[in-house]
């Protein structure tokens, strides 16, 4: 599917779910980096609405023992790609999503300022799906056509002491050839 990006940075073909965990980007900062993540809530379990609830600050922390450790966490991402390839958008690209945390890329700190965050529903423990790679490919092409993207990195590359995602099963050759 060919995706488009409107002037506010929304992909009309994506399901739109607003996250309050975002703010304005610093003035004059171009979007130059795409950061690939993985997420599953609870870890290793797929489906359900826990990821959406986490990004919307409506997660029921009593619904699973793992969730108690997430209490008070305020995070988001621009996009989530489900295991079946469904694309969800939480934050318009023009806004700064809170996905990277303390991070550095090519000597530049604070990657949230100049990046787009893409979460893949998954974990470090298993491969991603063909529908996810197809959706990711379409999204990357749209982002690269719209913004001066200079690189695509994993969360593990911009925050190596804290993060391991997208993990060892992510096929970088498929992405970096895009």
* Cα torsion angle, 153, 89, 147, 145, sign: positive
Catalytic center residues: 119
| Rounded Cα distance, 37 and 65, in Å | 23
Integer Cα distance of 165 and 152 in angstroms: 13
Q: Which residue has the tokens 């699973």?
A: 64
Instruction: Show the tokens assigned to 47.
Output: 């489906």
Cβ of 114: how many Cβ atoms within 10 Å?
19
80: enclosing H helix or E strand: strand 79-81
């Amino acid at each position: 599917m060919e995706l488009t990006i409107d002037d506010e940075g929304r992909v009309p073909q994506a399901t739109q779910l607003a996250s309050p965990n975002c703010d304005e980007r610093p003035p004059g900062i171009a979007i130059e980096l795409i950061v690939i993540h993985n997420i599953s809530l609870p870890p290793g379990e797929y489906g359900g609405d826990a990821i959406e609830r986490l990004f919307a600050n409506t997660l029921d922390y009593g619904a699973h023992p793992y969730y108690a450790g997430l209490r008070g966490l305020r995070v988001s991402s621009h996009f989530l790609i489900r295991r079946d390839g469904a694309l969800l958008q939480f934050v318009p690209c023009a806004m700064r999503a809170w996905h990277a945390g303390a991070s550095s890329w090519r000597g530049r700190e604070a990657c949230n300022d100049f990046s787009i965050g893409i979460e893949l529903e998954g974990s470090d423990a298993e491969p991603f799906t063909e529908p996810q790679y197809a959706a990711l490919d379409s999204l990357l092409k749209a982002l690269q056509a719209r913004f001066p993207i200079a690189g695509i990195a994993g969360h593990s590359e911009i925050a190596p002491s804290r993060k391991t995602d997208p993990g060892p099963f992510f096929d970088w050759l498929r992405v970096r050839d895009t």
